[in-house]
Structure 1
Amino acid sequence: MLNWFFIALAAPFLWALVNLADKYLVVNYCGGKKSAGSLVLFSSLIGLIASLTIGIFTRGVFAIPLFDKLLLIFIGTFSICWIILYLFTLEIEDVSAVIPWMLTISVFGYILSYFFLGETLTLAQLLGAAVIFFGAIILSVDFGKIHILFKGRVALYMLLASLIYAINGVIFKFVASADSFWVASFWEYLGLGLGGVLIFLFVGDYRRNFISNIKTSGKFIFSINVVSESMTIAGNLLTNFALLIAPVALVYMVGSFQPAIVLILTFFSTKFWPKIISEDFSRKIIIPKMIAIVIMLIGSLILFI
């Protein structure tokens, strides 16, 4: 039966929709260079609401050790860094060229788990990691110009974002293995919210941009963030459910289809709804991008299988 496949595939499809929503917000509601970081304040606000909701419906959120609470609050606050880097990248690059970089998260996760959780690295995993990074190198080259250019900022931002995401994942796994998922999520979302409060208080440009967006399009942006966060959580739950009925490696391999799904969705958006998302699908742009994505998917296949 392939029921598990469609359940697992629904997760990256939902996450891909979230990626397109992020790109739409960055393009339409950020007025200047690196102003997209102010959108993280909306995510932080959602984090506070999510934390409060989990706290109301989950028992024992205060029963875990103080050290675990502090670690989870830290990764929630630290996650703001990768979100901002991700939003910065969406300002300067197509979303279909940004999301494949997220496949490097698994590579960093394996490396960090090897050093800090005592997990082993196989030859296949090392080969898969090398293939993924090879695809990322192709992805970071701009073939659309007269002279081929290396998109250094895109590579730097997304490698840092992926590393931070992987660090948070390893810490979350370390803590949540002893505590329930929802208890750990309560403290992580609380950290995200508190980090947003600090940014609002001490980063004037983000505060002013946030207030401006609240006045002009606050309800719309907030609604999109609520829907996006709901789809993200739904994707996580679908993945967890798929893990119960299928091998872990296969479920994670299906999850790595997200870049391909984003590319397909951006194609249809460009063709039928260009006001939402529009990208250059000329041959000199799309062929190297497709080659890079296929190579990175092959790397993920090697990594997980």
Structure 2
Amino acid sequence: MTWFLISLIGPFLYAMTNFIDKTLLEKYFKHGGVGTLLIFSALLSALALPILFLFDNTVFSVGLLNILVLATVGVLNVLVLFFYLKALEDEEASVTVVFYQLVPVFAYGLAFFILGETLTTLQLIAMAIVIFGTSIISFEVDTENNFKLRTKTIFYMVGASFCWALGSVIFKAVALEEQVVRSLFWEHLVLTVIGIGLFFFVRSYREHFIVAVRDNSKAIFSLNVLNETLYMLGNVIFSFAYLLGPIAVILLAESFQPLFAILIGVFMTVFFPRIITEKIHIKHLWQKGIAFAVTCLGTYLLLAF
């Protein structure tokens, strides 16, 4: 089970990147933040290319069809990032990531509609449990204990979860044929190309990017490099974990990201409130905790049986 413990590193690193993203959006990218961060993230994917090439210098041996498939995965990854950042603009990181528990639900749904796979009664119940768990966090509790539907967060995070599920299914199919390093190389190459395209062809993104670099170049560059390094490392760990252990259990480990996000949010709010401040009133922690527990239970039932 060592591979399971290793796979837990991925969601912990992802949770850390959630808070770095939130810091960048709030403190450095107040105007046009999503577009600016998209370009940074896509361009910094280039940092992984020479490293991946050193691991496997046969990366250019990938078939043309698989390159096109991996290009699709790259586009889906950009869409995941776009939807996620739009949700994160006005929402807490620890709330946003709970919706990623919908990823395995969409994965099974895609398998049912696209591949013709059957779903058992238990799997349908498990999917309903996950959806119920995300519905718990779908309502914001204000100071007067009134409930307000997080409409924007729901819309964007459902979109992000769907794109993530579709991309994961496609990536696994190609990675098993072309090997992980080759697949990662082409995926990151496509992300880099998309970043260049966004810079040159989307004027508003380009202008905000230039302003952000001009005004806070050192801080932004340092945080983005750290952010992308953690994210890429998490991707690499997960990609190898997919091949080392049962995919169902690896995906279950991925569902621990919200728990790590909740813990990091509490830690940062208590000790570094000038950097990150989240709602840590007992009612909010109960809401987040219950939502995580319910969705995690649903994910376990969905993947383990």
Give me the TM-score of the superposition, normalised by structure 1.
0.90
Give the Cα separation in 2 of the matches to 1:133 and 1:261.
Answer: 20
TM-score (norm 2): 0.90
What is the aligned partner in structure 2 of residue 296 from structure 1? 295
Give 2:165's aligned residue: 166
Give identity over the alignment, percent.
35
Give the letter aligned to residue 176 of structure 2. S
* Cα distance in 2 for residues equivalent to 1:71 and 1:247: 23
Distance in 1 separating the partners of 2:115 and 2:217: 42
SS in 2 for 1:177: helix
Equivalenced residue count is 303
Letter in 2 for 1:226: V
Partner of 1:139: 137
Letter in 2 for 1:88: K
Partner of 2:268: 269
Question: Partner residue of 2:90?
Answer: 92
Distance in 1 separating the partners of 2:73 and 2:243: 27
Amino acid in the other structure paired with 1:227: L
CA distance, structure 1, for counterparts of residue 163 and residue 2 of structure 2? 33
Give the whole-Å Cα distance in 2 for the aligned partners of 1:40 and 1:188: 15
* Match runs of 1:168-247 below 5 Å: 168-239=167-238, 247=246
Shift in alpha-carbon separation, 1:24–1:81, aligned structure 2, 3 A: same
Deviations, residues 251-279 of structure 1 (Å, cap 9, x unaligned): 43233111011101100110011122111
CA distance in 2: counterparts of 1:57 and 1:248, whole angstroms: 24
Distance 1:119 1:47, change over 3 A: farther
Distance 1:238 1:203, change over 3 A: closer
Structure 1 distance, partners of 2:140, 2:251, is 29
Amino acid at match of 2:223: I
Paired with 1:183 and 1:244, the residues of 2 have a C-alpha distance of: 14
For the structure 1 residues 263 and 41, does the alpha-carbon distance in structure 2 shift closer, same or farther, using more than 3 Å as the test?
A: same
Match of 1:125 among 103, 118, 123: 123
Unaligned runs of 5+ in 2: none
In the TM superposition, residue 55 of structure 1 has moved relative to its aligned partner by 3.5
Q: d(CA) in 1 for partners of 2:122 and 2:222? A: 43
- Structure 1's unaligned 5+ residue stretches are none
Match of 1:65 in 2: 63
Provide the rounded CA distance (Å) in 1 between the counterparts of 2:62 and 2:244: 30
The amino acid across from 2:153 in the alignment is V
